[in-house]
């Protein structure tokens, strides 16, 4: 980037994670010129070496997100043998209450599909190239100036970029968000998500499991293809440190035992990794010439597996607003950004309220709270219509 001259486009997306990669071709399809910038070089992830080579980071992709990715041509590039549908889900409270969901009952092929992060990136990057998106990678961001006419981003390696709209897709600790003067309101959960993949003794039949534990931890088993599962153990920090310090064999035994060996014995495929959990509220997701998407715009507890789906929903909504802009040619016009903010306010607030409320409710140690939450789960399981309403909001 050193010595680079000023470049420009209608829209500059800062951040080439999954949400930024999906937004770029979606915006290009609206007739806008689009550029994508990231601190890291952009390259196709390495393909799996063999059947036991799995990415520790996986996502539960909802039917709504799958439809969005299919419209971009990315979903079709995923290897079918590496995708596992969640056909049913069993959620167990910390006093024995059970809540069940079934794709069949909802008239869906699957509640979600479990897909590796690297597979999604590898499917999206060709869509970015095919859409003619300009790439600016390998240099950090140094300064952002915003005027009524345009935004100017200066790269740390030299050179400026001028756009009519800058989209912050640069994650939970977004540099763009901070530079635009938008102050996030984070609150640590005091938990770390421990993720790892395992081979299991018994077939899972497309069932996802989730246990709310008396210590406030939440353990989820997500089906991978074959006799494999991926786990997310949202654990209090001392427990997370203990889990991450275990040898692979000991971790596999601990995870299997915590789920009462529902799928038999486990064997580690990928070592455990830890990700600190924070709830993040962003009061405004737009500013002058700036819009935020993905983790830059919101942070949710992973207990519902909806973080990346909210991000894809942001990308879909922003692309729709700009596609429907009519005679208004400026993609950074405040009226368009306000439409985007309004469109995303309700689904994001609803998901944040649900996940944060459940995480906090199950963290309460008092006996009355334990009885109340398990009674609520039991009652909900007996109300098919209410379960369908809850599930459908997550599916879309």
Q: What whole-number distance in Å separates Cα of residue 197 and Cα of residue 185?
A: 32
Q: Average pLDDT of the chain? A: 94
Q: What is the pTM of this model?
A: 0.94
Domain membership flag for residue 238 = yes
Domain membership flag for residue 49 = yes
pLDDT digits (tens, 9 = 90+) for 308-353: 999 999 999 999 999 999 999 999 999 999 999 999 999 999 999 9
Domain membership flag for residue 131 = yes
Q: How many domains does the chain have?
A: 1
Domain that holds residue 127: 7-395
Domain membership flag for residue 1 = no
Question: Which tokens sit at 97?
Answer: 């209450």
* pLDDT of amino acid 312: 98
pLDDT digits (tens, 9 = 90+) for 80-103: 999 999 999 999 999 989 999 999
- pLDDT of 121 above 50: yes
Question: Which tokens sit at 119?
Answer: 């597979």
- pLDDT of 2 above 60: no
Instruction: Give phi and psi for 381, each to the nearest 5.
Output: -65, -25
Q: Are 197 and 221 in contact (CB under 8 A)?
A: no
Q: What whole-number distance in Å separates Cα of residue 151 and Cα of residue 139?
A: 18
Question: Which tokens sit at 94?
Answer: 């910390």
Q: Are 270 and 197 in contact (CB under 8 A)?
A: yes
- pLDDT of 369 above 50: yes
Strand segments, DSSP code E, in the chain are 7-14, 34-38, 58-61, 84-86, 88-92, 98-102, 112-116, 134-137, 141-146, 151-155, 160-168, 185-200, 207-212, 218-224, 228-236, 266-281, 286-287, 290-292
Q: CA separation (Å) from 112 to 58, 108, 109, 233, 304? A: 12, 9, 9, 19, 11
Reported as a pLDDT band with limits 50, 70 and 90, residue 62 is very high
Domain membership flag for residue 189 = yes
Reported as a pLDDT band with limits 50, 70 and 90, residue 119 is very high
Domain membership flag for residue 355 = yes
Q: Which residue has the higher pLDDT, 387 or 128?
A: 128
Q: What whole-number distance in Å separates Cα of residue 301 and Cα of residue 369?
A: 20
Q: Are 311 and 19 in contact (CB under 8 A)?
A: yes
CA atoms within 13 A on the CB side of 389: 5
Q: Are 236 and 197 in contact (CB under 8 A)?
A: no
- pLDDT of 381 above 90: no
Domain membership flag for residue 311 = yes
Residue 188's Cβ-count burial label (10 Å; 0-12, 13-18, 19+) is: exposed
* pLDDT of amino acid 146: 96
pLDDT digits (tens, 9 = 90+) for 172-222: 999 999 999 999 999 999 999 999 999 999 999 999 999 999 999 999 999
- pLDDT of 66 above 80: yes
Domain membership flag for residue 2 = no
* pLDDT of amino acid 1: 38
Percent of the chain residues topping a pLDDT of 90: 80
Q: What is the CATH number of the domain that holds 143?
A: 3.50.50.60
């Amino acid at each position: 980037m050193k010595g680079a001259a000023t470049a420009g486009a209608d829209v500059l997306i800062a951040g080439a994670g999954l949400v930024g990669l999906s937004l770029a071709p979606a915006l290009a399809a609206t007739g806008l010129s689009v550029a994508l910038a990231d601190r890291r070089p952009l390259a196709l992830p390495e393909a799996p070496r063999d059947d036991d080579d799995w990415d520790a980071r996986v996502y539960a992709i909802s039917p709504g997100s799958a439809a969005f990715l299919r419209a971009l041509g990315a979903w079709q590039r995923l290897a079918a043998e590496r995708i596992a549908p969640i056909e049913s889900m069993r959620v167990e409270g910390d006093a024995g209450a059970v809540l069940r969901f079934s794709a069949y009952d909802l008239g869906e092929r699957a509640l979600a599909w479990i897909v590796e992060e690297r597979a999604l990136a590898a499917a999206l990057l060709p869509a970015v190239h095919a859409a003619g998106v300009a790439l600016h990678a390998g240099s950090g961001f140094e300064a952002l100036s915003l005027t009524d006419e345009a935004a100017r981003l200066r790269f740390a390696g030299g050179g400026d970029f001028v756009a009519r709209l800058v989209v912050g897709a640069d994650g939970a600790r977004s540099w763009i968000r901070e530079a635009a003067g938008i102050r996030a309101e984070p609150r640590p959960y005091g938990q770390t998500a421990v993720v790892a993949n395992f081979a299991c003794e018994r077939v899972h039949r497309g069932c996802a499991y989730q246990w709310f534990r008396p210590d406030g931890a939440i353990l989820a088993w997500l089906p991978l293809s074959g006799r494999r599962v991926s786990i997310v153990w949202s654990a209090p920090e001392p427990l997370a440190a203990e889990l991450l310090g275990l040898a692979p064999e000991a971790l596999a035994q601990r995870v299997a035992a915590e789920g009462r060996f529902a799928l038999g014995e486990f064997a580690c495929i990928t070592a455990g990794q830890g990700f600190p959990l924070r709830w993040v509220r962003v009061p405004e997701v737009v500013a002058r010439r700036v819009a935020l998407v993905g983790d830059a715009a919101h942070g949710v507890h992973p207990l519902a597996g909806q973080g990346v789906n909210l991000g894809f929903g942001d990308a879909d909504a922003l692309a729709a607003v700009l596609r429907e802009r009519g005679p208004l040619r400026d993609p950074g016009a405040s009226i368009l950004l306000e439409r985007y903010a309004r469109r995303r306010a309700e689904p994001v607030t609803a998901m944040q309220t649900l996940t944060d409320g459940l995480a906090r409710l199950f963290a309460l140690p008092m006996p009355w709270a334990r009885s109340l939450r398990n009674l609520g789960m039991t009652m909900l399981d007996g109300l098919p219509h209410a379960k369908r309403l809850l599930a459908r909001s997550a599916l879309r």
